[in-house]
Amino acid sequence: MAIISSSFCILISSLALLSTVGEGYGDEETRKGGEVKKVLFVFGDSYADTGNLPTSVSRSWKSPYGITFPGKPSGRFSDGRVLTDYIASFLGIRSPFPYRRLKNLNTNTIRYGINFAHGGTGVFQTLQVDQPNMTAQIDFFQQLVDKNVYRSEELSSSIALVSLAGNDYSTYLARHGSFQGLPELKRSVIEQLVLNVRRIKDFEIKKIAITGIEPLGCLPRNSAASSYRNCNAEENNFSQSHNILLQQHIWALNYETAAPVFKYLDLYDAFISALKIDQKSPGNLTDKLKPCCGGAKGEDA
Ligand SMILES: *[C@@H]1O[C@H](CO)[C@@H](O)[C@H](O)[C@H]1NC(C)=O
Ligand SMILES: *[C@@H]1O[C@H](CO)[C@@H](O)[C@H](O)[C@H]1NC(C)=O
Ligand SMILES: *[C@@H]1O[C@H](CO)[C@@H](O)[C@H](O)[C@H]1NC(C)=O
Q: For ligand 3, is residue 23 a contact (CB within 6 Å)?
A: no
Please, what is the Cα angle at 178 between 175 and 183, to 5 degrees? 100
CA angle 220, 15, 278 (to 5 degrees): 55
pLDDT of residue 280: 62
Q: Rounded to whole angstroms, how far apart are CA atoms 172 and 103?
A: 35
Sheet containing 40-44: order of strands: 97-98, 113-115, 40-44, 159-163, 207-211, 262-265
Q: Whose CA is nearest to atom 8 of ligand 2?
A: 237
Strand partners, 209: 161, 263
Tell me the three state secondary structure of residue 62.
Answer: coil
Distance CA 46, CA 52 (A): 9
Residues 83, 67: Cα–Cα separation, whole Å? 17
Closest to 301 measured CA to CA, from 5, 1, 2: 5
Q: How far is CA 136 from CA 71, 113, 121, 183, in A?
A: 31, 17, 10, 25
124 CB less than 6 Å from ligand 1? Answer: yes
pLDDT of residue 74: 96
Mutate to test the pocket of ligand 1, among 118, 123, 124, 125 (most ligand atoms within 8 A of CB): 125
Residue 66 near residue 77, CB atoms below 8 Å:
no
The candidate with the shortest Cα–Cα distance to 269, out of 5, 8, 15, is 15
Specify the residue with its C-alpha closest to ligand 3, atom 12.
Answer: 284
Alpha carbon 187 to its chain's center:
19
CA angle 281, 285, 286 (to 5 degrees): 150
Q: What are the structural domain ranges in the chain? A: 3-276
Q: Three-state SS string across 63-127, please? A: CCCCCCCCCCCCCCCCCCCCHHHHHHHHHCCCCCEEHHHCCCCCHHHHCCEEECCCCCCCCCCCC
In this structure, which ligand is nearest to the CA of 130?
1
Return the pLDDT at 237. Answer: 95
Per-residue pLDDT of the chain (301 residues; tens, 9 = 90+): 333 333 333 433 443 444 344 334 444 444 344 455 789 999 999 999 999 999 998 999 999 999 999 999 999 999 999 999 999 999 999 999 999 999 888 778 899 999 999 999 999 999 866 899 999 999 999 999 999 999 999 999 999 999 999 999 999 999 998 888 999 999 999 999 999 999 999 999 999 999 999 999 999 888 888 888 889 999 999 999 999 999 999 999 999 998 999 999 999 999 998 887 666 655 666 678 888 776 544 444 3
Question: Would you state the CATH architecture of domain 3-276?
Answer: 3-Layer(aba) Sandwich (3.40)
Q: What whole-number distance in Å separates Cα of residue 198 and Cα of residue 201?
A: 5
Report the candidate in 159, 183, 126, 104 with the shortest Cα–Cα distance to residue 1. Answer: 126
Report the nearest-CA residue for atom 11 of ligand 3: 284
Q: What interhelical angle do 134-146 and 182-201 show, nearest 10?
A: 10
Structural Rg of the chain based on CA atoms: 18
pTM of the entire structure?
0.85
